[in-house]
Each structure stands twice: as C-alpha cells, then as structure tokens.
Amino acid sequence: MSAIPAIAAAPIGRRVSTLRTAAAAALVVLAIPAIALLSGRAGIAPDFAARLLPPALAHPFGTDPLGRDMLFRTIKGLALSLQVGLVASLLSVLIATALALLGATSRWADEVVGFLVETVMGLPHIVLLILIAFALGGGTGAVIVAVAVTHWPRLTRILRAEILQLRSADYVRISRRFGKSWFWIGRRHMLPHLLPQMLVGLLLLFPHAILHEAALSFLGFGIEPARPAIGILLNEAMGYLLAGRWWLGLFPGLCLVGLVLCFDAIGNGARAMLDPRASED
C-alpha cells in the first residue's frame, strides 16, 4: 500500500523541482538587466593601463585589448541580447497568432497559411537570417526584423492545430449560427484558449532569438560593432585566442549558453504551471 502514495508523489515532486529551477532561472535573468543598469560605464570606458589582464580578483573575467572589464561587458551584452530577444520574440508570437487565426476563417486561408509555414521552414534558417539582415542594412533593427520574421512557423503550426480543435467546439458552432463573424469568434473564444500556448511559445522562442542575434553579430550582419553584444565580443576574441587570451571568448560564450539554459528552464516551468500533466512526461 505504501508504494501507491510514493508513485503518486513522484510527479508532484518533479513538478515542484521544475518550478523551483524555473524560479531560480527567472531571478538570474531579471538580475542581468538590473546589474547592467546599475553598473554605469563600467565595461565601456577604456583603461589602457589594464589591457589584456587575465582573470583575477579585480577582474574576474579579465580585460579586453582596451582595458575594459570583460565581466561588465558580458553582462551588458547579455542585457542587450535580452532586449533584442524580447522584442523579436513578441513580434514573432504576434505573427504566428495572426496567421493561425487567419487560417481559421476559411479553407483557402488555411491552405495559404500552411503553404507559408512549409515554405519558411524549408528554407535554410541562418541563410535567410543573413539575407534579411543584409537587405535591411544591418544594425539592431535589422536583427529584430530578421529574427521575428523567421521564427514564427513552428508556433503557427501549434496554434493552428489548437484552433482546428476549437472550431469543432459546440460554442463556436453556436456562435456561427447566431451570425457572429470569425473575427468576433477568434477574439472572444479562440484567443483566450491560445494564451497559454502563446506564453510558452514566447519563452521557448527567446533562446532561439538570442542565439541567432549572437550569430548574426558574430558574422558581421547584426548589431553595431560599437555596442557590447555577445556576438561582437566573440568576434573580437577570435583575433586573440591564438595568442593565449582565452578569457576573451570563453566567458562570454559560457554566459550565453547559461542564459539559453535559463530560458529553457523557465519554459519548462511555465509548461508545468499551465499544464500539470506535462511534468509527468
């Protein structure tokens, strides 16, 4: 008899552990822009007397060729990645939701949305990002647009599947018989049901947006070189790695991976909160 409570408690324990990990990850993510804001010009103003210092107590991440503290430059780069990722992810979620709702209006509209999803997913992702950013002239705005218009297909497919189930619901059919438009039905009936998927989709799009922003900046098609983006820090480090200045690329890279893992943990926590059955998988 004692085995039954233990089996029942296992999914609950996993869910609690997932939520605790997500809360800790959220605190880390929130601390990054706060530290970047409070640090002022630390990591921006050059100090030629402290050029290329290895990691030490005074400079835990070392210094760059201009004597700037790499710890604060990395934090500012992560904060910039969070800003770009937030705007790009929000735009991508809005595009996915609009297309998914549009596909519910008629059969031909659903076929058009399906064709767009398959077309964009069939294109090489990084090549499409580079082409869009290059066509827009590079910079922060170009990165945001490039990431936003290339990351919506998978979420659109998920929302589309949810909407197909909602279309057969009794209250939707009754609304149609009363003459309600698809716009009214989408706003009053479908959109509230899509909000959990939209929230989880936003959190899971965040790491993709951050990584692709860093990739574009590393390749020279992204954020302006004067700004301390993670991709720019990694690009600048390439010329010094063979000279033994390993800290210039190691710490920004590890912090970028850590930030992505934080959002993965937050996304899992959001799933566990919105759908308790997900913690049993």
CATH, range 3-41+67-280: 1.10.3720.10
Name beta bridge partners: 63. 69
CA distance 181 to 176: 7
Task: Write phi, then psi, for 126 (nearest 5 degrees).
Answer: -70, -35
The angle, 0 to 180 degrees and rounded to 10, between the axes of the packed helices 247-274 and 3-38 is 130
Non-local (6+) Cβ contacts of 91 within 8 A are 144, 145, 148, 149
Measured over the CA atoms of residue 77, residue 130, residue 207 and residue 84, the dihedral's sign is positive
Residue 278 scores a pLDDT above 70: no
Q: pLDDT digit string (tens) for 97-137?
A: 888 888 877 788 888 888 888 888 888 888 888 999 888 88
Answer with the residue of higher pLDDT: 118 or 193: 118
How many Cα atoms sit within 13 Å of 244 on the Cβ side?
2
pLDDT at 277: 54
Instruction: Please report where in the chains the tokens 């947006």 appear, as a residue.
Output: 209
- Comparing CA positions, the residue from 144, 126, 125, 127 lying closest to residue 223 is 144
Give residues with Cβ within 8 angstroms of 97, minimum separation 6: 159, 191, 194, 198
Task: Please list, in sequence order, all residues whose beta carbon lies within 8 angstroms of the beta carbon of residue 16, skipping any fewer than 6 positions away.
Answer: none
pLDDT band at 6 (very low <50, low <70, confident <90, very high): very low
